[in-house]
Amino acid sequence: MTRSRRTSAIALRRILNSRRMGLPLWMPRRRWSLIRVISRRALANTAILNHREALKDFKAVVKREPNNRDAKLKLADCEKLVRRVEFEKAIEVGDPPSAFEDLDIDSMAVDDGYDGVRIGNEMTQEFIDDMIERFKNGKKIHRKYVFQIIKAVRDLVYAEPTMVEIGVEEGNKLTVCGDTHGQFFDLLEIFRRNGYPSDKHAYLFNGDFVDRGSWSTEIALVLYAYKWLRPNGIFLNRGNHETDDMNKAYGFEGECKAKYNERVFKVFSESFSALPLATLIGEKYLVLHGGLFSDDSISLNDIRKLNRHNQRQPGQQGLMMEMLWTDPQTAPGRGPSKRGVGLQFGPDITKRFCEKNGLEAIIRSHEVRMEGYEVEHDGRCITVFSAPKYCDTTENKGAYINLGPELKLNYQVFEAVPHPPIKPMAYAQNSLLSMM
């Protein structure tokens, strides 16, 4: 990450934290004007989907600078966002019907001109191999197969516990990957370097498969196809970007509509809400997307007992939200989140949680790490991030972790690979977010 980008990120975090804590606006050393500070705060609030606060700030900028054309455009975009969010809330029902209701997949015909491998009622390795080649060449699979894959995996993961518990048998290997964020060609680089999922080699993907990168449907379908083929050989934790609000803002919804149709997004959304929230490896490592909790009394048993099916979206508080959104900090105790959602937890929090639950460490993702991974909190908090050169702008490496039966962590770092000339956020519907 360049120095200027780091400076901007730090500034945004301080601005948001100052607003939340009721403090006066923090003014950077470079003497930004009040207008510039308010504009950046508005963009930051847009990024965390705090649209009403963003709207107030954009209105303030336009009031102070009525001839500022850029501010007027951003205000108009933000007003559209707020109207859309309010409309969607107005038409919400308590228990929406399944997105698969009235979807007759069996009656869907695959025309004779389809040039890909076909499947019946079972996934095959031949189909996956062909699908990957199609995706590499810019092709799609037939919509019937998309629905089949999502339906099969939705049923599989719905039946799994909220915290899946696994080990690594003798002669086998497990690989833990962090965020892939629609960077399909970098996912293939992991498989090229480390091996594809097989009977002896399982994978755990720790959330944020989609959004930002412009091959999110390709990643989701490949991971889902492997899950259908080998239910006990690939494991999928939910991330904060496997949620409706994020998908609507950061590109996945738009990508589904552009490449397939709106129904595909809706069934993906239902499958995301069924995903487990954590995986326990050999009773030593708790793997979850975000991090730890606002309450020291939370235990592994509380995660086991959490009925995630009662709450499809994580909301702004509660156990599910914290599992998807929180981040570590270097200072002890807990602090306000730099994201505006969730919180930050210190090394003492991690130590108490691990000791209470008999864990060696937690493994989480959710944040870029310049070397692809980072070991913090005296070795008890490990972050792994698997999207190198994130969004084509951050000069970070990617990483993944290999474990054998002895459960020793073997970190592997890799560089980004070339991809076709499609920019990140290509399918994002909101111009405000596409510039973040």
Helix (H, G, I), strand (E, B) or coil at 402: strand
Region for 354 from its dihedrals, namely left if φ exceeds 0, alpha if ψ lies in -120 to 50, beta otherwise: alpha
Asked if 237 and 395 touch (Cβ cutoff 8 Å), the reply is no
For residue 163, list its beta bridge partners. 278
**Is 241 an active-site residue?**
yes
Give the span between the Cα atoms of 142 and 272, in whole angstroms.
21
Which position among 181, 241, 366, 419 bears the catalytic label? 241
Asked if 413 and 372 touch (Cβ cutoff 8 Å), the reply is yes
> Who contacts 310 (Cβ-Cβ below 8 Å, separation ≥6)?
none
H helices of 326-426, in order, are: 347-357
> Encoding tokens for residue 66?
């009525």
H helices of 297-337, in order, are: 300-305, 319-325
End-to-end alpha carbon distance in the chain: 14
Give the span between the Cα atoms of 144 and 106, in whole angstroms.
8
User: Rounded to 5 degrees, what are φ and ψ at 297?
Assistant: -80, -10
DSSP state of 280: E
Q: How many helices (H) and strands (E) does the chain have?
A: 15, 14
User: Rounded to 5 degrees, what are φ and ψ at 337?
Assistant: -75, 140
Catalytic residues: 241
